[in-house]
Amino acid sequence: MVSVYVGLSFNDKVEGFLPEATLLRSIFNKRISGLSGLFEIASGAGLPCQPWQSTYRELKNEHGLLVIVSPIEDLSGAEVDQILTWVHDGNTLIFLDDFQHPEAQRILKKLGLHYKLGKKLLDEQFSPCPDARACAHVEHLVLSGEARVEGGRPIVTDKDGALLTEVRYGKGYVLIGTTPGLCANRELQSPSNFDNFQFIVNWLSTTDGSLFFDEKCHGFSNSSNIFTFLLGQAPGLVFIQILIILAIAVLSNTQRFGEAKRFLSAREISSLQFIDGLANAYDRAKATLAALEIIVQDFKTKLCKELGLSPHSSLEEIAVNWQNFTKADSSNLRNFLTDYERACGQKRISTADLKKYVLKCDELARELKGLSRRNRER
């Protein structure tokens, strides 16, 4: 998620320094050809600006001003009629384009204007006509373009024709300009161009309704699928990343990594082998008697604890309690403890005797463990 948001911020910064492949006069475009700066200035001036992303036939339900700048596709005849019908009812239209294609000139013909080419201009300064409306605090306009129009009430002209003209249409007004870069973000780089923004803001202030910046003509439509729209935004990119991670996790869980290998389990040593090895080790160390004492004393301690006796109890006392505990003959335990005490009186016992005593001790320990488990279950 962090990588997505950092990446988007990084792209915004980098794109600000790279040249644009195509010009997009959109309020959603923050690069030099966009109109995001104009939208922010108008909003900051308290004007009720909002993007228009619906069909033009829905304009009949609205009242205000519509701004159209350089549509990426020429408006159809039906769309032109819908827009001009809305203007005729008392609304305002600002239309800035170079009108190069015959299809784009439909609206000029409807308004009684004529298209013509003139001298190509690049950031030339012009003073608006003295009687032009909405030019308060505007000393000069910086314009670029080569298209001109004839007709209407010119606002800025040269010897080849009008670059900006106003047309009264029914109860409404139309501002036609052949300079689509009039208020592009690029113009904000120089204070000498600020009057361009003042001029458009003056026009936006002439309406008493809503202000719409047409984004439908730039391909932005609110009728598109909501999932398609979200997938193109930061939350959508994060969601796609999560899906990819889950897919990798599922695939990884069903596959092994690396070549299959066979592992052989080590052979477990038997109890008899362990006792033989232990006896031989103590025999070489001449400590068979010490080993026997350690093993039997451990068993005797556990036995006395189970019987509720002291570890120092006598052989007879242990045998009697064992018989009461097991409800069986205690001669086996009595003989083992008697032989053990006799062996302790010797200085040394053989390896064979050590193994015999250890095996007998293990046998009694298993019997004690089984009896204890059965008593707990009861």
Domains belonging to the chain, first-starting first, are 11-227 (3.40.50), 271-377 (no CATH)
pLDDT of residue 214: 95
pLDDT of residue 226: 53
Query: What interhelical angle do 351-377 and 288-307 show, nearest 10?
Result: 20
pLDDT of residue 112: 95
Furthest-apart CA pair in the chain: how many Å? Answer: 137
Nearest to 56 by CA among 81, 74, 32: 81
pLDDT of residue 38: 95
d(CA 157, CA 138): 16
pLDDT of residue 9: 67
- Phi, psi (5° rounding) for residue 142? -105, 115
Q: What average pLDDT values come out for the chain (378 residues) when binned by 10 residues?
A: 69 61 86 92 94 93 95 93 96 95 93 94 92 90 94 93 95 95 92 94 92 92 59 74 88 71 60 62 66 78 80 78 74 78 76 78 78 65
pLDDT of residue 265: 61
Q: ∠ CA(36), CA(107), CA(199), 5° rounding?
A: 40
d(CA 288, CA 307): 28
